[in-house]
Structure 1
Amino acid sequence: MIRFCICFLIKGSQVLMLNRNKAPNKGLWNGVGGKLELDETPEQSVIREVSEETGYRISSPYYGGIVRWEVDDKEIGGMHVFIVNISDEVTYPTPEKMDEGILDWKELSWVLDEDNQGVVSNIRHFLPDMLQGKEASDYLCIYRDGRLSHVKEMRLGQMNFVQ
C-alpha cells in the first residue's frame, strides 16, 4: 500500500523544496509531503500536507503518478506524487525554517542536475516526465548497497528502463 504523498510546487523555473532535518533523506532537498491519514485520499492528504508545511491552500493538484522504492530486493514503500503550478504573483519568502526542515525555492535545473548530490536521488528520474504532463506512471526506484541502481517506469502495462 502506498502510504505517503509528495508535492512539487512550481513557480516559473523554480520549485519549492524542503531540506529535511529528519530521516529518511535527512539533509537532502525533497518535495513537500507526508503520510496519508486513515480514510484520507491521496489528494486530500497532499492538500493537507502542503497547507501544514507551507501555509499554501491548494486545490486540484495534478496527479503525476506513483514512486516506489525497493532496497536490496525488498520493496519498502511508495508515494503518490502531485504537481501544483503557482502563479508568479504569489509570494512566499524563503528560506523559511520549520519543524520539518528548511523550505526554499530552487531552480529546477539545479534540482534535476544529475551531479547534484544534495537532492533526493530519484527525483530527476520522475519529475521531468510529470512536469511535461505525461500520462501518470509507476516509477520503481531500485537501490543496491545504499545507492540508486536504476528506475523502472511502468506505463499502461509497458515497462521501460530510465537511466
Structure 2
Amino acid sequence: MLPYTICFIKRKNDILLLNRNQSPNLGLWNGVGGKLENDETADACVLREVKEETGIILSEVNYKGMITWNVDDLYNGGMYAYMATVPDTFEYDTPISTREGILEWKNLDWILLENNRGVVSNIRYFLPHMLKDDQIRHHHFIYKNEKIVSCICE
C-alpha cells in the first residue's frame, strides 16, 4: 500500500494547484492530497484531503494509477493519483492562502511548459496521460541528485 494520494482538479483548461509552504516540494506547485490514515482507503483519503486542503467537496474522482519513485537509491515512495473535473461554471476564486500553502487555478499550457521550474518536476511526465484518457497507468521515477534520470510509464 502506498502512503499518499494526489488529486488534480480540472476546470476548463485550468488545474487547481497548491504552492506548498512546507517540505516536500516547498515552494512548488502541485496537486492536492496527502497521507493515508490507518485503515483508510485511497479513495476515501483523496476525498478527505481535497476537502481539508481546499474546502471543495467532490462527489467523485477518477483513479488514474500510481506514481512511485526512488531517490538516490536511498528512499522509495509513492502515491495514488486521481483526477476530478468540475463544471466550467464552478465558482472557486483564487488565490487562497491556506495552512498548506496557496491555492490557485493554473493554465495547463503553463503547467506543462518543459522548463517550468515552478511546478513539481514529474508533473509534466504523468499529467498529460491523466488528461488524455481513462487508462490506469503506473509512472515510476528514478531521481539522482534531485533530478529525474528515468521515467517508466506502464
Name segments (4+ residues, structure 1) moved above 6 Å: none
Gaps of 5+ in 2: none
1:134 to partner: Cα distance: 4.2
Amino acid at match of 1:36: L
Q: Which residue in 2 is equivalent to 1:123?
A: 123
Amino acid at match of 2:151: V
Q: Give the SS at the match of 1:125.
A: helix
Instruction: Provide the rounded CA distance (Å) in 1 between the counterparts of 2:16 and 2:60.
Output: 18
After superposition, the CA RMSD in angstroms is: 1.0
Q: Which residue in 1 is equivalent to 2:145?
A: 145
Structure 1 contact 18–102 (Cα < 8 Å) conserved: yes
Instruction: Provide the rounded CA distance (Å) in 2 between the counterparts of 1:152 and 1:99.
Output: 34
1:75 to partner: Cα distance: 4.4
Amino acid at match of 2:132: Q
Instruction: Provide the rounded CA distance (Å) in 1 between the counterparts of 2:23 and 2:87.
Output: 31
Q: Which residue in 1 is equivalent to 2:57?
A: 57
1:89 to partner: Cα distance: 1.2
1:153 to partner: Cα distance: 1.0
Deviation per CA, 1:73-103, whole angstroms, max 9, x where unpaired? 2442100000000101111010000000000
1:132 to partner: Cα distance: 1.0
1:135 to partner: Cα distance: 1.5
Pairwise mapping of residues 59-138 of structure 1 onto structure 2 (< 5 A)? 59-138=59-138
Amino acid at match of 2:70: E
Q: Which residue in 2 is equivalent to 1:23?
A: 23
More divergent stretch after superposition (90-99 vs 126-135)? 126-135
Using the aligned pairs only, state the percent identity: 47
1:59 to partner: Cα distance: 2.1
Gaps of 5+ in 1: 155-163
Q: Which residue in 2 is equivalent to 1:5?
A: 5
Structure 1 contact 16–104 (Cα < 8 Å) conserved: yes
Number of residues of Structure 1 aligned to a counterpart in Structure 2: 154
Q: TM-score, normalised by structure 2?
A: 0.97
Instruction: Provide the rounded CA distance (Å) in 2 between the counterparts of 1:92 and 1:113.
Output: 24
